[in-house]
Amino acid sequence: MTTKSALVLVDLQNDFMPGGSLAVPDGDAVVKVANQLSSIFPVVVATQDWHPANHGSFAASHPGKKIGDMTTLGGLPQMLWPVHCVQGTHGAGFHPDLDTTKITAVFHKGTDASIESYSGFFDNAKKRATGLNDFLRQKGITDVYVGGLATDYCVLYTVLAACELGYKTFVIKDLCRGIDADKNDCIAAYTDMIKAGATIILSKDL
Ligand code: VGL
Ligand code: ZN
CB 167 less than 6 A from any atom of ligand 1: no
CB 159 less than 6 A from any atom of ligand 1: no
pLDDT in tens, 147-170: 999 999 999 999 999 999 999 999
The SS3 call for residue 185 is helix
CB 94 less than 6 A from any atom of ligand 1: no
Q: What are the sequence ranges of the domains in the chain? A: 5-205
DSSP-H helix ranges across the chain: 29-38, 132-138, 156-164, 185-195
How many C-beta neighbours within 10 Å does residue 177 have? 24
pLDDT, position 2: 87
How many C-beta neighbours within 10 Å does residue 200 have? 13
DSSP letter for each residue of 137-179: HHTT--EEEEEEE-IIIIIHHHHHHHHHTT-EEEEEEEEEE--
pLDDT, position 178: 98
CB 153 less than 6 A from any atom of ligand 1: yes
Residues designated as active site: 11, 109, 154
Q: In terms of Cα–Cα distance, which of 84, 42, 47 is closest to 179?
A: 84
Q: What is the pTM of this model?
A: 0.98
Question: What mean pLDDT do residues 31-50 have?
Answer: 98
Distance 122 CA to ligand 2 centre (A): 13
Buried b (16+ CB within 10 A) or exposed e, 130-169: bebbebbeeeebebbbbbbbbbbbbbbbbbbbbbeeebbb
Give the rounded percent of residues in the chain with a pLDDT score beyond 70: 100
pLDDT in tens, 103-113: 999 999 999 99
Distance 1 CA to ligand 1 centre (A): 35
CATH architecture of 5-205: 3-Layer(aba) Sandwich (3.40)
Distance 118 CA to ligand 1 centre (A): 6
Query: Which residue's alpha carbon is at the smallest distance from atom 2 of ligand 1?
Result: 153
pLDDT, position 42: 95
Provide the CB-side half-sphere exposure for 35 (13 A, CA): 11
